């Protein structure tokens, strides 16, 4: 094996280059630190919108987006910071948007739940559960009709799989053999309601397969396995193989909406979280990278976040006239 290749434990057939490990580490560390800084700032009221943090779930977006090409499209939900950053969304514009400033990606009018960066091919994220799924499917239909060798990736939570539009979209995507990868970030909770009280059976992949769509499950948010599964799926989709589906089991560490923790709310316990903390993929990848190299990455990330916060604070609020722009009627 070449010296710059690492064979991760428990994945004997998956060789990952040193460059890939560094890229993945930087991606998930950057997402984590951006959101931790957002959580620190939030109580000051400088951030003007609700925030749904993906702390603990970063591996899914980082692993999947790492195998995408620049012109591939990505779609997400209100818990979309990780997807936005992993796909290359502009951090300056994102932070300004959270602060409600006119230099934000939605001129300060959308906030955390409505991030968009078409320069990075990040579709506007949606605050309504499941609504991004048919939009992403429509983008994939456009790609097919234009005979483009591009892929759309659609991220959503386990709660969205209970919406009728999820099933309608899967059926249509399969019928049309659309170039789309559906990615379910299954953190087991729809707000505060556990999966066991919502699903008659946990066999999500089996349900998806009834539409003739290959379905893959990653049970422990292993970022290298997520990346490996996504890489194979994206290659097959790009070459005309039709849609595929990934169920990535994960766990959000913070409350459903807001910067704090909610383990005293009675619907889940810190004991439940413990194995996910122990399996933190940031800690895992950090152990695979040389210490000085890792420290340099960490320092670069902190500087980038500092710059984004300064940019957001220096930006002006939207003008009153912005109330009348981007209005259909």
CATH number of the domain to which 216 belongs: 3.40.50.970
Distance in angstroms (rounded) separating the CA atoms of residues 115 and 97: 8
Output the CA–CA distances (angstroms, integers) from residue 132 to 22, 87, 161, 246, 292, in the order listed. 31, 16, 12, 16, 41
| 323 falls within a domain | no
Which residues are CB-neighbours of 162 under 8 A, at least 6 positions away? 190, 198, 199
| 219 falls within a domain | yes
Confidence (pLDDT) at 327: 87
Please provide residue 213's backbone torsions phi and psi, each rounded to the nearest 5 degrees: -110, 125
| 329 falls within a domain | no
Distance in angstroms (rounded) separating the CA atoms of residues 254 and 270: 11
| 229 falls within a domain | yes
Q: Closest Cα to residue 27, out of 309, 221, 285, 233?
A: 285
Distance in angstroms (rounded) separating the CA atoms of residues 176 and 210: 15
pTM score of the predicted model: 0.93
Chain segment 36-94, per-residue pLDDT in tens: 999 999 999 999 899 999 999 999 999 999 999 999 999 999 999 999 999 999 999 99
Determine the distance from the C-alpha atom of residue 101 to the mean position of all C-alpha atoms in its chain, rounded to a whole number: 24
Distance in angstroms (rounded) separating the CA atoms of residues 170 and 243: 8
Confidence (pLDDT) at 8: 40
Burial of 104 (0-12, 13-18, 19+ CB in 10 A): buried
| 190 falls within a domain | yes
Which stretches in the chain have pLDDT values below 70?
1-14
Output the CA–CA distances (angstroms, integers) from residue 245 to 126, 133, 234, 300, 320, in the order listed. 20, 12, 10, 35, 44
Distance in angstroms (rounded) separating the CA atoms of residues 258 and 101: 20
Domain limits at 155?
A: 5-251+259-317
Distance in angstroms (rounded) separating the CA atoms of residues 125 and 113: 6
| 237 falls within a domain | yes
Q: Work out how many domains the chain is built from and give that number.
A: 1
């Amino acid at each position: 094996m070449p010296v710059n290749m690492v064979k991760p434990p428990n994945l004997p057939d998956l060789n990952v280059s040193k460059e890939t490990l560094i890229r993945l580490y930087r991606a998930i560390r950057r997402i984590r630190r951006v959101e931790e800084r957002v959580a620190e700032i939030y109580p000051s009221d400088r951030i003007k919108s609700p925030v749904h943090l993906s702390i603990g779930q970063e591996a899914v977006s980082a692993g999947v987006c790492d195998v995408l090409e620049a012109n591939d499209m990505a779609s997400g939900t209100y818990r979309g910071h990780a997807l936005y950053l992993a796909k290359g969304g502009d951090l300056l514009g994102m932070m300004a948007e959270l602060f409600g400033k006119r230099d934000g990606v939605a001129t300060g009018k959308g906030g955390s739940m409505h991030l968009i960066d078409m320069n990075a091919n990040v579709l506007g994220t949606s605050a309504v559960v499941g609504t991004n799924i048919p939009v992403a499917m429509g983008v994939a239909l456009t790609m097919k009709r234009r005979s483009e060798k591009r892929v759309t990736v659609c991220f959503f939570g386990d709660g969205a799989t209970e919406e009728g539009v999820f099933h309608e979209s899967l059926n249509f995507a399969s019928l049309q053999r659309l170039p789309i990868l559906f990615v379910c970030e299954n953190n087991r909770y729809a707000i505060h309601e556990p999966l066991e009280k919502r699903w008659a059976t946990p066999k999500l992949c089996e349900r998806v397969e009834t539409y003739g769509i290959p379905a893959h499950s990653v049970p422990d948010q292993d970022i290298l396995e997520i990346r490996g599964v996504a890489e194979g799926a994206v290659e097959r989709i790009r070459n005309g193989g039709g849609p595929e589906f990934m169920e990535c089991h994960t766990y959000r560490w913070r409350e459903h909406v807001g910067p704090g923790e909610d383990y005293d709310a009675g619907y889940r316990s810190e004991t439940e979280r413990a194995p996910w903390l122990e399996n933190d993929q940031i800690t895992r990848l950090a152990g695979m990278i040389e210490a000085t190299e890792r420290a340099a990455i960490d320092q670069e990330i902190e500087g980038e976040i500092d710059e984004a916060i300064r940019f957001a604070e220096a930006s002006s609020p939207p003008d009153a006239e912005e109330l009348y722009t981007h209005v259909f009627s």
